[in-house]
């Protein structure tokens, strides 16, 4: 074999081996981050309403959480629903702690909601790669976050959220344990399932919301927190709430009164 062809062949082999090593590293990294995210959400699920702030500080520190203060409510006279305004005012948190895991920088921000240079660079590269190719090489975009609201030195609410790039749109799953329902009209309920529109930097989608109080049943708590973690690493990608949150969808079908502005999806 001519010398030139030998050199070219060796370069091809070396390039292939390098690409294979990079691919293997990406897959291992993504799998590790999925494990970390599920562990983080599991730890957050053990936090209860009324727990002291001091008791959750180790968890916040372990995941490099940051503290922030929510925007105050507008003046009461600007409200068109005074009953709802007063209800919300009585349940405003003093401050909150957030921490997240986002392997490719989807949710990674500082305490002011800004990204550093490295994160911005990662996002630029990630967004430049076609979605289908990202999934194949282990770069499916996703992020998980936990929020702890504090009022009077105690946990007022705790929530866990996962956002993932699905097959045709972004999908989100959120569970939220609250001291009181977010709206006065929901006050008599212990568990509701709703939905919200997602607007991401590279597309839109839907989020399923599961909100429950300490009075919720064991079945309701399990239905709210369960999500399909395989969606985070799926090559094909998940499609809709039926794939991402089958347990919540099934509960909603059996208990339509738990719905809060959501139409139960028709699963195959």
pTM over 0.75: yes
The whole-angstrom separation of Cα 29 and Cα 129 is 18
From 198, 213, 212, 210, select the one nearest 252 (Cα to Cα): 210
What secondary structure, in 3-state letters, does 185-238 show?
HHCCCCEEEEEEEEEECCEEEEEEEEEECCCCCHHHHHHHHCCCHHHHCCCCCC
Percentages (nearest 5) of helix, strand, coil residues in the chain = 40, 25, 35
CA dist 102 → 3, 36, 145, 161, 234 (Å): 47, 10, 8, 12, 16
**The predicted structure's pLDDT at residue 114:** 53
The whole-angstrom separation of Cα 160 and Cα 225 is 8
Bridge partner list, 150: 95, 155
The whole-angstrom separation of Cα 159 and Cα 37 is 14
The whole-angstrom separation of Cα 253 and Cα 211 is 17
The whole-angstrom separation of Cα 159 and Cα 151 is 15
The whole-angstrom separation of Cα 234 and Cα 51 is 36
Show pLDDT as tens, one digit a residue, over the chain (268 residues): 566 677 778 888 888 788 777 777 777 888 888 999 999 999 999 999 999 999 999 999 999 999 999 998 899 888 888 888 888 888 899 999 999 998 877 665 444 455 556 566 666 766 677 767 776 766 788 999 999 999 999 999 999 999 999 999 999 999 999 999 998 889 899 999 999 999 988 789 999 999 999 999 999 999 999 999 999 988 889 999 999 999 999 999 999 999 999 988 988 7
**The predicted structure's pLDDT at residue 111:** 45
* Count of beta carbons in the 10 Å neighbourhood of residue 203: 14
């Amino acid at each position: 074999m001519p010398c030139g062809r030998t050199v070219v062949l060796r370069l091809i082999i070396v390039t292939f081996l390098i690409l294979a090593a990079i691919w293997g590293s990406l897959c291992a990294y993504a799998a590790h981050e999925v494990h970390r995210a599920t562990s983080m959400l599991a730890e957050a699920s053990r936090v209860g309403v009324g727990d002291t702030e001091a008791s959750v500080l180790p968890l916040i520190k372990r995941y490099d959480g940051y503290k922030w203060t929510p925007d105050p409510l507008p003046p009461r006279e600007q409200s068109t629903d005074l009953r709802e305004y007063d209800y919300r005012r009585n349940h405003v948190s003093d401050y909150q702690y957030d921490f997240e895991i986002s392997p490719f920088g989807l949710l990674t921000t500082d305490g002011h909601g800004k990204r550093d240079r490295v994160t911005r660079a990662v996002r630029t590269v990630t967004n430049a790669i076609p979605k289908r190719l990202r999934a194949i090489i282990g770069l499916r975009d996703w992020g998980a976050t936990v929020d702890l609201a504090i009022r009077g030195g105690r946990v007022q609410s705790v929530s866990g959220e996962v956002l993932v790039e699905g097959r045709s749109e972004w999908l989100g799953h959120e569970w939220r344990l609250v001291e009181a329902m977010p709206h006065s009209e929901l006050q008599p309920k212990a568990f509701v399932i709703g939905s919200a529109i997602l607007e991401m930097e590279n597309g839109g989608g839907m989020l399923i919301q599961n909100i429950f109080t300490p009075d919720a049943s064991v079945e309701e708590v399990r239905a709210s927190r369960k999500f399909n973690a395989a969606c985070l690493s799926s090559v094909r990608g998940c499609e809709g709430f039926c794939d991402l949150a089958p347990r919540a969808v099934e509960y909603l079908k059996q208990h339509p009164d738990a719905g809060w502005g959501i139409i139960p999806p028709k699963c195959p």
